[in-house]
Structure 1
Amino acid sequence: MQCWLLLTFLMLSNFKTSAAEVPRLDYCYKETDCNPYLWVKSYPSCLPQKDKLHSPIDLNDEAVRNDTVPALMFRGLARSGTVKNVRDTVVVDFDECMTVSGGWLKYKYRLVQIRFHWGSKTTNGSEHTLNNRRFPMEMQLVGVAPGYKDVKSALNQQSGVAMIGVFIDIGPVNNVHFKAISDAVSKVPYPGDSVKVTLPTLLQLMPTSNEPGNRIKFFYYQGGLTTPPCSQTVDWIVLENPVLISSEQYLAFVTHLYYSDKSDSDQKLLEENYRPIQSSAMHKVLVSAQALEFHLARGASRSLQTFFIPLCVLLSLLHLSLTMV
């Protein structure tokens, strides 16, 4: 009985909001002494030179069309995760292992989290723009190449990180699949706040298309991290079609999140957390219209799904060691 009570307590504790110390950043978005135009003071690699592969960029009709590349392939099923306020954005860390490959991607990338960038009550805030249009928000899936345990280490290799950008626009009704994330955002107002959530599938979070076979146009280019240290080792894929959420769901991001600590006397709202558009002079931007294919893990027990996380990392490391032989 005591063992059962302990197990019940541990299970319930996973769904409580928790807080952890998050270090202060030496960069910001809106303040006069640390905004994106001044990141270079602390991070020389963020200097926006035209002959570098900085991100984000404007995506437009000048992209080279090639519909012969494979579809984007998503594998795995993450139905639980943790929503965190990490001071410069809010992230969703996945509990289970998922991968993405195909298109122009060089590897099968392990998806580790979702990041968000947004505007304010009166401004849009996607990082990439489409034909010079900025959307209200951008959702970014972050993938790590085989052989690397996290994003920081993978940034040391060209194409070590893949990021998939999804525009978010405002629609007339609530997005029922996005509700778990937008509801959780209201529960993590301050840096370090986190809450466990039950997630929709990636398929449910993706946009749809009216084209036959639900083909969605996606752009590809080699670029960089949009936050310091602005490492130019990221393979970017950005979907053309946006996902629609309600204005109420959007306001959860622009009115409930702070980058100041709860104890600070000056409370600073986290808004307009996007890097300005960078030069695309050195970028070769490709575009293709393909279906997004999802292969979900079904029938696995919770224990097997938990075991699959370290197994996925182990297989990635094994893949790297074999390629180095």
Structure 2
Amino acid sequence: MGRVTGVFDNPPSFPCTPPGVDILEGGKLTSNNVAGSSHDPLQSPAVASGAVSIPGGDTAGQDALHSAGVEGSEDSGARSKLPQPSQEEETLMCLLQHCICVSRPCEILEWCYHPKGSCKGPENWKEINNNCGGDRQSPVNIVTKTTQLDKRLTSFNLTGYKTLFDSTVKKNSHTVEVTLNPTATVSGGNLEDTYKPLQFHLHWGTNGVRGSDHTIDGEQYPMELHVVHIKQKYSNLTEAFQDQSGLAVFGFFLEESNSTNKNFDNLINVLRSIENKSGDVSIKNISASQFILPEENMTSYYRYNGSLTAPNCSESVIWTVFEKTIPLSKKQLEFFSSLKLDDGTPMVGTFRPPQLRSGRTVYRSSSPAVLASVVLLFISITTTFSLSHLC
């Protein structure tokens, strides 16, 4: 379970107004000056910048990215060791932690994939953030016969993806995430701008089956890997979330193979040290390219406008879902199902069910590989028709 924090430009809906705060039109927040107070916490430079540090977590912007697979740790006992917060401090914490005000103190909302205790499952994520009930949510079921050809969906230009670097693997209660080389870039593929990678994370099922976020014609793959990119011109996620194309996420399906994929050996080996707990571990001499498809196999893909697939569910994502799969052995796929939460619960089924397309069009690239299924269907129909006339 994870604490959810938000961005001031997209505040949560509160059943009651937090003490000392008015929620104004346009999503602007201001203090109504708590009686007897001379300090306005909402006017501090850190808050105004959207980069407020929260005890036990990361900055507000980083917590928002945790919705795509990153989570800060929280020391549940820390609060009892600190002085009790003032009314102003409690108000600020309430706003930053997307909580519901139930008199005092605030109740922090948590999200998870499988409801347990106070955490909210996928069907109730909109109670944590209104974005999750929007009409451009992800993932979706891609129905290939209804996709539209877009000849502008050409090949991508990747730079720095083969560069070796040292990084950090983070395991939290929602996913496994690897920080990527920030000097790499991607353009082309009808992306309107140049993007830089932030991290990749994984979604998986149980015992190496049915774990992808997206589905193709109703078929769910064992795993899905997401590479999260932000527009190169943006310095933080707060800016990106205000842009419907601020993020570009690449989705890769992972499928069972008879052979081991050695490119994932290093990742699996370092994860063994935190297999039964949340935490960070170093990983050395990796490249972004080793975890994704070869560049020449990235010409067959689907494209649509959507969102992050977990809270805050920001509808600021250009999705590229690749047709060709990344092979992993059965043993490698099953390893991820062996990971456990801090309480010993198996960490399985880390995916969101498909969301309604709500009139959105899913486009396909002009690569012959994407059209292969259509061609085969046409040949099959033609052959059947010809044979029927011979009888």
Which range, TM-score by smaller chain?
0.7 to 0.9
RMSD: 2.5
Quick one: distance in 2 between partners of 1:236 and 1:78?
Answer: 26
Q: Within the alignment, does 1:120 sit opposite 2:203 as a pair?
A: no
Over residues 199-249 of structure 1, what are the superposed CA-to-partner deviations in whole Å (9 max), with x where a residue is unaligned?
Answer: 54333333369xxx6563111111011111111111100101110011221
Quick one: distance in 2 between partners of 1:192 and 1:242?
Answer: 29
| Comparing 181-190 and 218-227, the one that deviates more | 181-190
1:283 is displaced (CA, Å) by 1.6
Over residues 9-59 of structure 1, what are the superposed CA-to-partner deviations in whole Å (9 max), with x where a residue is unaligned?
Answer: xxxxxxxxxxx9613871001125511011122222212x5xx11100011
Quick one: distance in 2 between partners of 1:190 and 1:43?
Answer: 29
Query: Corresponding residue for 1:22?
Result: 73
Pair 151,134 (structure 1): closer, same or farther in 2 beyond 3 Å: farther
Give the alignment partner of residue 148 of structure 2, picking from 39, 64, 81: 64
1:192 is displaced (CA, Å) by 4.5
Aligned to 1:241, the other structure's residue is in SS state: coil
Quick one: distance in 2 between partners of 1:151 and 1:248?
Answer: 36
- Matching residue's letter, 2:157: M
Query: Corresponding residue for 2:326?
Result: 243
Pair 35,69 (structure 1): closer, same or farther in 2 beyond 3 Å: closer
Quick one: distance in 2 between partners of 1:272 and 1:233?
Answer: 25
Query: Corresponding residue for 1:272?
Result: 349
Do 2:298 and 2:322's aligned partners in 1 also have CA atoms closer than 8 Å?
A: no
Aligned to 2:123, the other structure's residue is in SS state: helix
1:131 is displaced (CA, Å) by 1.3
Query: Corresponding residue for 2:126?
Result: 40
| Comparing 87-96 and 165-174, the one that deviates more | 87-96
Query: Corresponding residue for 1:226?
Result: 309
1:177-188 alignment, distance < 5 Å: 177-188=263-274
Aligned to 1:163, the other structure's residue is in SS state: strand
Q: Which has the higher contact order (CA 8 A, sep 6+)?
A: 1
1:78 is displaced (CA, Å) by 4.3
Quick one: distance in 2 between partners of 1:290 and 1:75?
Answer: 22
Quick one: distance in 1 between partners of 2:190 and 2:228?
Answer: 16
Quick one: distance in 2 between partners of 1:257 and 1:152?
Answer: 32
- Matching residue's letter, 1:42: I
Structure 1 residue runs of 4 or more that deviate by more than 6 Å after TM superposition = none
Pair 110,273 (structure 1): closer, same or farther in 2 beyond 3 Å: same
Do 1:180 and 1:199's aligned partners in 2 also have CA atoms closer than 8 Å?
A: no
Quick one: distance in 2 between partners of 1:138 and 1:114?
Answer: 10
- Matching residue's letter, 1:164: F
Quick one: distance in 2 between partners of 1:68 and 1:162?
Answer: 16
1:154 is displaced (CA, Å) by 1.6
1:1-325 alignment, distance < 5 Å: 22-23=73-74, 26-32=110-116, 34-47=120-133, 52-61=135-144, 62-76=146-160, 77-121=163-207, 123-189=209-275, 192-207=278-293, 214=297, 216-258=299-341, 260=342, 266-290=343-367
1:72 is displaced (CA, Å) by 1.2
Pair 102,43 (structure 1): closer, same or farther in 2 beyond 3 Å: same
| Comparing 161-170 and 277-286, the one that deviates more | 277-286
Quick one: distance in 2 between partners of 1:186 and 1:69?
Answer: 39
Quick one: distance in 2 between partners of 1:206 and 1:168?
Answer: 10
Quick one: distance in 2 between partners of 1:63 and 1:273?
Answer: 27
Quick one: distance in 1 between partners of 2:234 and 2:199?
Answer: 15
1:188 is displaced (CA, Å) by 2.5
Quick one: distance in 2 between partners of 1:267 and 1:184?
Answer: 19
- Give structure 1 stretches of 5+ with no counterpart: 1-19, 261-265, 292-325
Over residues 129-159 of structure 1, what are the superposed CA-to-partner deviations in whole Å (9 max), with x where a residue is unaligned?
Answer: 1111000000000001133234454222221
1:65 is displaced (CA, Å) by 1.2
1:123 is displaced (CA, Å) by 4.1
TM-score scaled by length of structure 2: 0.61
More strand per residue: 1
Identity of aligned residues (%): 26
- CA radius of gyration, larger in: 2
- Matching residue's letter, 2:154: P
- Give structure 2 stretches of 5+ with no counterpart: 1-70, 77-108, 369-391
Pair 36,204 (structure 1): closer, same or farther in 2 beyond 3 Å: same
Do 2:195 and 2:231's aligned partners in 1 also have CA atoms closer than 8 Å?
A: yes
- Matching residue's letter, 2:360: H
Aligned to 1:238, the other structure's residue is in SS state: strand
